């Protein structure tokens, strides 16, 4: 396992900032500040920590170059905006940024000017010099910049021992900074630098504080590498599930229905169905019991569970019948499943009880959060709740992790990370239940994960309000990391709902509860899956598995009979007997990423075969229809 070392600031550097939107650790002190990106810190001995999740293509030299480029950008920004106050500006994966308090938002021409000015500064080959300064001198240097003053104060008072304060200077620009930097600005290459975007960012990642202007840029060894990077970005955009989803007619959104409420088109629905039936079979084998529950429930139910008070702001407003009484669109399935559990007395003999449902839930996500299928307001959780004895917890968790891994491997997700999400030790108010119960839950789930042998990181402050969890994270086309599968251990909801079972001692006992969802949200999973395979789905989930293409209208009869045979084998297949050339039909099928094209003409009609062309362009040859059906069945079985 990889723990995040808690090290003193003096012997650590910001190594890597990966993805965005999630934070490891919860402390708001400078050494573990909640910058906007996930920050992993480590000792300067890189080799010793080689197992750390280091972004692909990480290059310590470029890291320094980007850090220095951020300083150069800051100089240019200050020249352009005399009132500007620089705050922090670290390198991140592939890029760098710097946050400023600016007198006005920058326009495009400002950015062009800044970029141009950066190139001049770079060509000036100004040396980076470092020196240690006293707190008093530091305060004097940055007396006009309250942000730097705040940082200095924390360096002085931070975590007991005073830290040395260093400032770096190149040309006219002096910055509070721990380094390291390149020897002089010439090490940054003028033709490898480009400004990318601006964005708002809160000071110290705190929404209650000043909002700053962030400028993103990137820096590479030369123009070729810069252009390669920009090409990569462009290719990623091509793979974006939002454009593929539209082009392949998988899903759509309608203003008339509402933002974040996806409409699944027939092909997208077929894809989902394939995923769902796959998981249903797996769950049957593992003795899960499907249940079906309604989309709404009384407000009181969610008061008891805690979801209503905890997440009031991010729920659709309740349907109130009278003051405080009424119904809520369910934001979670667990309270309903708990009612299934409690519909009668439970004996220890029937535990574990595993209740599964593909339950649709609704959450009023903030407008700025919505995007494609990865963050929506109405979605389907492949939810199950396992009610078991405490002694069964570990085995159950291991089984749910096993199932989650099965799901990921069946869809060839190999590049995922595992996160054990624990309480925030400094903000216990966010959680329900007693500390002792949490301690037990956290150590139980940690032991279970450790026994699976998975590599994982622990993330403080990422637990659910009712318990710790194991999250499986996968990156999207743009490198953003998303939580898909999740396994959550919960000792608190059984408490809140006063759940019990009768033990062998004829006494009432409290069961433990495990919430788990291997896909997580079907919507998000499909979104990430589309990007993962670029829309070229494996045949067992492909919305259209094969298309029958006739050479000319003369073979419409034969083509139709082939098509009907395939239909009778429950294949997802379509027929194209238009009066077009085969080349045209193939091109169309190819761009729709259909796994197999079955060409039929005179030869095939005579011999009762189909000519099989794979999506790869490969000519698979002629075969009978039953042979083709077998081939697909075998390929599908093998894939999962």
Partner RNA sequence: GCUGGCGUAGCUCAACGGGCAGAGCAGCUGAUUUGUAAUCAGCAGGUUGGGGGUUCAAGUCCCUUCGCCAGCUCCA
What is the smallest separation between the CB atom of 351 and RNA, expressed in angstroms?
22
Q: What is the edge-to-edge ordering of all strands in the sheet holding 165-170?
A: 129-133, 165-170, 173-176
Q: How far is the CB of 28 from RNA (least distance, A)?
A: 10
When binding is defined by CB under 7 A, the residue of 41, 148, 178, 214 that contacts RNA is: 214
Paired residues of 170 in beta bridges: 173
Contact with RNA (CB under 7 A) among 150, 227, 273, 365: 365
- Is the peptide bond prior to 509 cis by the omega test (within 30 degrees of 0)? no
Residue 125 or 246 with smaller CB distance to RNA: 246
Of 87, 145, 488, 492, the one binding RNA by CB under 7 A: 488
Smallest separation (angstroms) from RNA to the CB of 523: 13
* In the complex, minimum distance from the CB of residue 25 to RNA, in angstroms, rounded to a whole number: 12
Q: Which stretch binds RNA (CB under 7 A): 132-140, 172-180, 365-373, 406-414?
A: 365-373
Note whether 246 binds RNA by CB under 7 A: yes
150: how many CB neighbours lie within 10 A of its CB? 15
- Residue 20 or 159: which CB sits closer to RNA? 20
Minimum CB separation from RNA for residue 483, in Å? 7
Residue closer to RNA (CB basis): 170 or 245: 245
- Residue list 266-305, contact with RNA (CB under 7 A): none
3-state secondary structure 588-604: HHHHCCCCEEEEECHHH
Examine residue 359 and tell whether it contacts RNA (CB under 7 A).
Answer: no
Which of residues 396 and 462 has its CB atom nearest to RNA in the complex? 462
CA 131 to chain centre: 41
CA gap 602, 568 in Å, rounded: 24
Please name every residue paired with 293 in a beta bridge, in sequence order, or none if there are none. none
Does residue 181 touch RNA according to CB under 7 A?
Answer: no
Determine which helix (DSSP H) or strand (DSSP E) holds 407, and give its type and residue range: helix 393-410
- Taking CB under 7 A as the criterion, the residue among 85, 242, 272, 423 binding RNA is 242
The CB-of-600 to RNA minimum distance in angstroms stands at 7
Q: Using CB under 7 A, pick the residue from 12, 15, 18, 23 that binds RNA.
A: 23
Residue 617 has, within 13 A of its CA and on its CB side, a CA count of 2
Q: Cβ(530)–Cβ(394) under 8 Å?
A: no
Q: Which stretch binds RNA (CB under 7 A): 121-129, 207-215, 504-512, 624-632?
A: 207-215
Query: Closest distance between RNA and the C-beta of residue 17, in Å?
Result: 9
Q: What residues contact 217, with CB distance under 8 A and at least 6 apart?
A: 69, 70, 73, 95, 96, 97, 115, 193, 194, 195, 196
518 binds RNA (CB under 7 A): no
Among 8, 48, 130, 199, binds RNA (CB under 7 A): 199
Neighbours of 637 (CB within 10 A): 9
Is residue 80 near RNA by the rule CB under 7 A?
no
Binding mask 138-177 for RNA (x = CB under 7 A): ----------------------------------------
SS3 420: strand
| β partners of residue 474 | 416, 482
| Contact of 496 with 511, CB cutoff 8 Å | no
Contact of 423 with 463, CB cutoff 8 Å: yes
E strand or H helix that includes residue 487: strand 481-490
Q: Residue 33 or 271: which CB sits closer to RNA? A: 33
User: Minimum CB separation from RNA for residue 476, in Å?
Assistant: 9
Does 551 engage in binding with RNA (CB under 7 A)?
A: yes
Under the criterion CB under 7 A, does residue 35 sit at the interface with RNA?
yes
Binding of residue 604 to RNA (CB under 7 A) = yes
User: Count residues contacting RNA (CB under 7 A)?
Assistant: 83
> Using CB under 7 A as the criterion, what x/- string covers residues 582-601 for binding RNA?
xxx-xx--xx-----x-xxx
Q: How far apart are CA 334 and CA 491, in angstroms?
A: 13
Q: Which stretch binds RNA (CB under 7 A): 2-10, 126-134, 224-232, 462-470?
A: 462-470
Query: Is residue 580 within the footprint of RNA (CB under 7 A)?
Result: yes
Interface pick for RNA out of 222, 231, 287, 314 (rule CB under 7 A): 314
Burial class, 192, CB count within 10 angstroms (exposed 0-12 / middle 13-18 / buried 19+): buried
If binding is defined by CB under 7 A, does position 232 make contact with RNA?
Answer: no
What phi and psi values does residue 266 have, to the nearest 5 degrees? -50, -45
Q: Which stretch binds RNA (CB under 7 A): 58-66, 116-124, 182-190, 251-259?
A: 251-259
Please tell me the distance from the alpha carbon of residue 71 to that of residue 77, in angstroms, as a whole number: 10
**d(C-alpha 589, C-alpha 583), whole Å:** 10
Six-digit token string for 75: 């100089």
Stretch that binds RNA, among 43-51, 276-284, 362-370, 506-514 (CB under 7 A): 362-370
Q: Which helix (H) or strand (E) holds 121?
A: helix 108-123
Q: Could you give phi then psi for residue 385, rounded to 5 degrees?
A: -125, 125
CA-to-CA distance for 24 and 33, rounded, in angstroms?
Answer: 10
Looking only at residues 87 through 116 of this chain, which bind RNA when binding is defined by CB under 7 A?
105, 107
Among 56, 123, 131, 247, binds RNA (CB under 7 A): 247
Q: How far is the CB of 197 from RNA (least distance, A)?
A: 5
Closer residue to RNA (CB): 259 or 290:
259
Distance CA 53, CA 374 (A): 23
**Structure-token match 């598995």, residue found:** 545
Residue whose token pair is 């809520």: 328
Per CB under 7 A, 31 contacts RNA: no
- Choose among 610, 480, 397: nearest CA to 92: 480
319 near RNA, rule: CB under 7 A: no
CB of 455 to RNA, least distance (A): 22
Please report how close the Cβ of residue 531 comes to RNA at its closest, in angstroms: 11
Alpha carbon distance 503, 548 (integer Å):
61
Taking CB under 7 A as the rule, does residue 487 contact RNA?
A: no
């Amino acid at each position: 396992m990889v723990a995040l070392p808690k090290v003193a600031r003096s012997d650590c550097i910001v190594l890597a900032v990966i993805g965005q939107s999630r934070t490891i650790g919860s402390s708001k002190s400078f050494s573990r500040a909640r910058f906007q990106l996930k920050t992993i810190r480590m000792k300067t001995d890189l080799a010793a920590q080689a197992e750390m999740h280091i972004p692909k293509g990480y290059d310590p030299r470029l890291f320094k170059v980007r850090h220095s480029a951020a300083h150069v950008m800051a100089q240019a920004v200050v020249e352009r905006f005399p009132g500007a106050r620089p705050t922090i500006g670290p390198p991140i994966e592939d890029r760098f940024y710097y946050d400023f308090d600016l007198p006005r938002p920058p326009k495009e021409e400002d950015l062009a000017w800044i970029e141009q000015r950066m190139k001049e500064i770079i060509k000036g080959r100004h040396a980076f010099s470092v020196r240690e300064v006293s707190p008093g001198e530091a305060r004097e240097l940055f007396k006009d910049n309250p942000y730097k003053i705040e940082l200095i104060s924390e360096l002085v008072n931070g975590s007991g021992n005073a830290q040395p304060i260093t400032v770096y200077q190149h040309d006219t620009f002096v910055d509070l900074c721990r380094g390291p930097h390149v020897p002089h600005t010439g090490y940054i290459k003028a033709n490898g630098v480009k400004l990318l975007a601006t964005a708002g960012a809160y000071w110290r990642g705190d929404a209650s504080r000043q909002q700053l202007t962030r400028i993103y840029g990137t820096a590479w060894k030369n123009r070729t590498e810069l252009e390669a990077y920009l090409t990569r970005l462009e290719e990623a955009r091509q793979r974006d599930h939002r454009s593929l989803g539209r082009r392949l007619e998988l899903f759509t959104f309608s203003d008339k229905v509402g933002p974040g409420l996806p409409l699944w088109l027939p092909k997208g629905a077929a894809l989902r169905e394939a995923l769902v039936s796959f998981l249903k079979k797996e769950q049957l084998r593992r003795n899960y019991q499907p249940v079906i529950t309604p989309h709404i429930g009384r407000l009181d139910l969610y008061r008891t569970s805690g979801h209503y008070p905890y997440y009031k702001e991010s729920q659709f407003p309740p349907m109130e019948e009278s003051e405080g009484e009424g119904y809520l669109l369910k934001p979670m399935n667990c309270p309903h499943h708990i009612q299934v559990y409690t519909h009668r007395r439970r004996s220890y003999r029937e535990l574990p009880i595993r209740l599964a449902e593909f339950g649709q839930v609704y959450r009023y996500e903030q407008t700025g959060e919505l995007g494609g299928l990865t963050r929506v307001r109405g979605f389907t959780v492949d939810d199950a709740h396992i009610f078991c004895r405490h002694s069964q917890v570990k085995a159950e968790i291991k089984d749910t992790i096993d199932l989650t891994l099965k799901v990921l491997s069946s869809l060839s997700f190999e590049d995922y990370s595992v996160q054990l999400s624990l309480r925030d030790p400094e903000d216990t108010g966010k959680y329900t239940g007693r500390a002792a119960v949490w301690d037990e839950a956290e150590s139980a789930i940690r032991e279970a994960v450790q026994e699976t042998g998975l590599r994982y990181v622990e993330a403080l402050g990422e637990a659910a309000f009712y318990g710790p969890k194991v999250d499986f994270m996968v990156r999207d086309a743009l490198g953003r990391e998303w939580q898909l599968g999740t396994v959550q251990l919960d000792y608190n909801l059984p408490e809140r709902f006063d759940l019990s079972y009768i033990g062998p001692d004829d006494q009432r006992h409290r069961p433990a509860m495990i919430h788990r969802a291997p896909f997580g949200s079907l919507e998000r999973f499909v979104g990430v899956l589309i990007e993962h395979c670029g829309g070229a789905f494996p045949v067992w989930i492909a919305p259209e598995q094969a298309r029958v293409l006739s050479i000319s209208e003369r073979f419409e009869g034969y083509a139709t009979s082939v098509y009907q045979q395939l239909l009778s084998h429950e294949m997802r297949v379509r027929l194209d007997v238009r009066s077009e050339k085969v080349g045209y039909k193939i091109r169309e099928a190819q761009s729709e990423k259909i796994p197999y094209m079955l060409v039929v003409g005179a030869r095939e009609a005579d011999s009762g075969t189909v000519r099989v062309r794979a999506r790869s362009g490969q000519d698979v040859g002629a075969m009978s229809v039953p042979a083709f059906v077998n081939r697909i069945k075998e390929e599908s079985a093998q894939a999962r």
